[in-house]
Amino acid sequence: MRKMIWRSMGLLLVAAVVLTACAPAPTAVPVEPVVPAPTEAPAATEAPAVHEAPFPYRAGGALEEALKGTYAGTTVTLDGAMEGKDPDGVKLAKSVAAFEAATGIKVNYIGNKEFEATISVRVDAGDAPDIVDFPQPGKAGQFVKSGNVVDVTSFIPEEWLSQQYNQSWRDMATVGGVEVGVFHRFNAKSLVWYPKKAWDAAGYKIPETWDELMALTQQIADDGDTAWCIGIESGAATGWPATDWTEEMMLRTTSLENYDAWVAGTLPFDSPEVKKAIETWSELWFNDAYVYGGRSSIVSTYFGDSPGPMFDDPPKCWMHRQGNFITGFFPEGKVAGTDYGFFYFPPVDPAYGKPFLVAGDVMVMFNDRPEVRALMEYFTTPESASGFLEGGGALAAHQTATPDMYGVPLERGIAELVLKATSFRFDGSDLMPGEVGAGSFWEHITSYVAGSENLDTAMKAIDATWPK
C-alpha cells in the first residue's frame, strides 16, 4: 500500500584489500645501451595506482577501475523520490561523497516529489536517468518488459551479490527473470513497541513466540489492563495498518512462495492461506479485553495517535506493532531505551522461520556505461548508505553491514534484531496493483474490522477488483 509515511544483515563485514599494481618496465629498443651512473636507481614504469577507498569493492569490476581514476570527470545521473535539499536528500549526498572523492566521478542527483509521474515520462521519451532510486520495486518492474532496465547480473558476479545480500533481497529485486537492481536501504516493520519503565516495573517478559505473546496479552488482561494499542484511521488511506498485520501473518503462517503468489495475484484473497493469516490477527484484535477502546474503536483511532496511551501513567495499553518510523509520533521528549523499548514481532509457526516485513529502496540501472556500473557496484556495499546509517532514518539492506555502522542507538538495536531474520519480504500491498493494494484492500479490510462485512464477503470483494 502507499503508506502515508515509509535484512538481512550478516555477521561479518568483508574487508577489502586495496592493491597497488606494478607493471613490468617496457622492453627497450636495442640501440645503444645506457649504463646508469652508480648513484642512480634503475628506472621503472608503474601502472596507475588504485586510490585508497573507505569501502570494499570486488576485484576486476568497474568500481576497481574507477578507483584508478579511469572515469574521473564523468557524471552519473541519479533520480528518485527525495528532493536534494530535504533531510533524506542530504543523507544520500553524504552517502555517495566517498565514492565521488575516491573515483572523481560526479553523482548528479535530480530527485523530485513528483518522481512517480516524471520517471515514466522520461523513460518513454528516451531520456532515462542513469540510475533510479525506486522506493517500491513494483514500479521498477514495469520497465522490464520494455527492455529499459539493465540486469545487474550482466556485470556483477553471482558470488559478489550472494556475499552482499540475503537471497530474499535478490528475490524481491527480480521481476520476470530479470534482477532489476540492488537494494540499498530499508525500514523495518516487524517490531513491537512497549513502555519500558512501566514494563520493567510490572515484570513483564519479552515474548519470543506467538503463543508467548498471546499468553502475555492474557496476563495483562488478567491484571486489569488492555495489552494492545491499535488504530487504523488514516484519512483516505484508512485501513493500511491492517494490511500490514495481514502481511506479517502471511509471512508467519504460510510459505514465502505463497506470499509471493498472493502479491502477484495468483493466490486469491479468498484462499484458505490468506483467510488463516487474517483470522490469526483477528483473534487478538476482536477481543475487547485485549485492545484499548475495544474493537469498535480501531477504525476511528488515528494510527499516529494509537500508541500514545502507552505513555500514560499508568499505561492504558502496553504494546503497539509498527515500523520504526512510528517513534516520530511518540510524545515529545520520550527516549529510546529509557521510556520505550521494542522487540521482534514473534513468529507464529516455527516452520517459517523469523521473517521480517520491510519497505525500502532499490537502485535500478537504465544506461550501461562503465562509470554507471561503478556506482551500481558501490551501491552493493553498506558504506553507500552511510549517511542514513550515521544520521538515522534507515537500515542497510546489505548482510555485510554491522551494528557499529549505526550512529543512532535505536537503529543499532533494530539492526541487531534484523541480523537474526531468516527471510525478508517487501510490504505486499505496496507491490499490488494500485486499485487493490491502495484501494479495495484498504476499503474491505476496514469494513471487516468494523464488522460491516464478514471475512468471506470482504475477501471476495477484493478479488473482484484485481485487474484482469
Domains of the chain, by residue range, sit at: 62-188+357-419, 191-354+428-463
Mean pLDDT of 216-231: 98
The per-residue pLDDT for range 290-316, each reduced to its tens digit, is 999 999 999 999 999 999 999 999 999
Cα 85 from chain centroid (whole Å): 22
Q: How far apart are CA 195 and CA 327, in angstroms?
A: 12
CA R_g for the chain: 26
What mean pLDDT value characterizes the chain? Answer: 89
Mean pLDDT of 265-291: 98
A 10 A CB-CB count for 54 gives: 12
Is residue 378 very low, low, confident or very high in pLDDT (cuts 50, 70, 90)?
very high
Q: How far apart are CA 149 and CA 304, in angstroms?
A: 38
* DSSP-derived secondary structure for 258-326: HHHHHHHTSS-TTSHHHHHHHHHHHHHHT-TTTBTT-HHHHTTSBTTTTTGGGGSSS-S--BEE--GGG
Is residue 444 very low, low, confident or very high in pLDDT (cuts 50, 70, 90)?
very high
Comparison of pLDDT for 320 and 42, the residue scoring more: 320
Comparison of pLDDT for 27 and 277, the residue scoring more: 277
Is 139:40 a contact under the CB 8 Å cutoff? no
Cα 114 from chain centroid (whole Å): 21
pLDDT at 34: 33
Is residue 41 very low, low, confident or very high in pLDDT (cuts 50, 70, 90)?
very low
Q: How far apart are CA 317 and CA 202, in angstroms?
A: 13
Q: What percent of the chain has pLDDT over 90?
A: 79
Do the domains 62-188+357-419 and 191-354+428-463 sit in the same CATH topology, yes or no? Answer: yes
Mean pLDDT of 77-90: 89
**What's the whole-model pTM score?**
0.83
Mean pLDDT of 206-226: 98
Superfamily holding 191-354+428-463 = Periplasmic binding protein-like II (3.40.190.10)
Residue 28 has pLDDT above 70, yes or no: no
The per-residue pLDDT for range 252-270, each reduced to its tens digit, is 999 999 999 999 999 999 9
Is 232:240 a contact under the CB 8 Å cutoff? yes
Q: Among the listed ranges 15-29, 138-152, 184-198, 217-231, which one has the minimum average pLDDT value? A: 15-29
The per-residue pLDDT for range 445-458, each reduced to its tens digit, is 999 999 999 999 99
Cα 239 from chain centroid (whole Å): 22
pLDDT at 15: 32
| E strand or H helix that includes residue 77 | strand 75-80
Residue 36 has pLDDT above 80, yes or no: no
Is 187:358 a contact under the CB 8 Å cutoff? yes
- Top CATH class, 62-188+357-419: alpha beta
A 10 A CB-CB count for 456 gives: 11
Is 394:186 a contact under the CB 8 Å cutoff? yes
Residue 76 has pLDDT above 80, yes or no: yes
Mean pLDDT of 374-398: 96
Give the residue among 320, 318, 311 at the shortest CA–CA distance from 339.
311
Which grid coordinates are listed for 330? Answer: 511518540
Is residue 116 very low, low, confident or very high in pLDDT (cuts 50, 70, 90)?
confident
Residue 97 has pLDDT above 90, yes or no: yes
User: Nearest 5°: CA angle at 138, between 136 and 141?
Assistant: 125
Is residue 5 very low, low, confident or very high in pLDDT (cuts 50, 70, 90)?
very low
Is 400:177 a contact under the CB 8 Å cutoff? no
Q: How far apart are CA 312 and CA 156, in angstroms?
A: 52
Backbone angles phi, psi at 367, to 5 degrees: -120, 125
Is 324:410 a contact under the CB 8 Å cutoff? yes
pLDDT at 8: 34
Is 309:316 a contact under the CB 8 Å cutoff? yes
**Per-residue H/E/C for 411-459:** HHHHHHHHCCCCEEEECHHHHCCHHHHHHHHHHHHHHHHHCCCCHHHHH
Is residue 51 very low, low, confident or very high in pLDDT (cuts 50, 70, 90)?
low
pLDDT at 434: 87
Mean pLDDT of 426-431: 92
Residue 18 has pLDDT above 60, yes or no: no
Give the residue among 89, 71, 29, 114 at the shortest CA–CA distance from 376.
71
pLDDT at 3: 43
The per-residue pLDDT for range 238-250, each reduced to its tens digit, is 999 999 999 999 9
- Taking phi over 0 as left and psi of -120 to 50 as alpha, with beta for the rest, 353 belongs to left
Regarding beta strands 340-344 and 181-188, do their DSSP bridges make them parallel or antiparallel, or are they unpaired?
Answer: unpaired
Which grid coordinates are listed for 417? Answer: 534484531
pLDDT at 294: 98
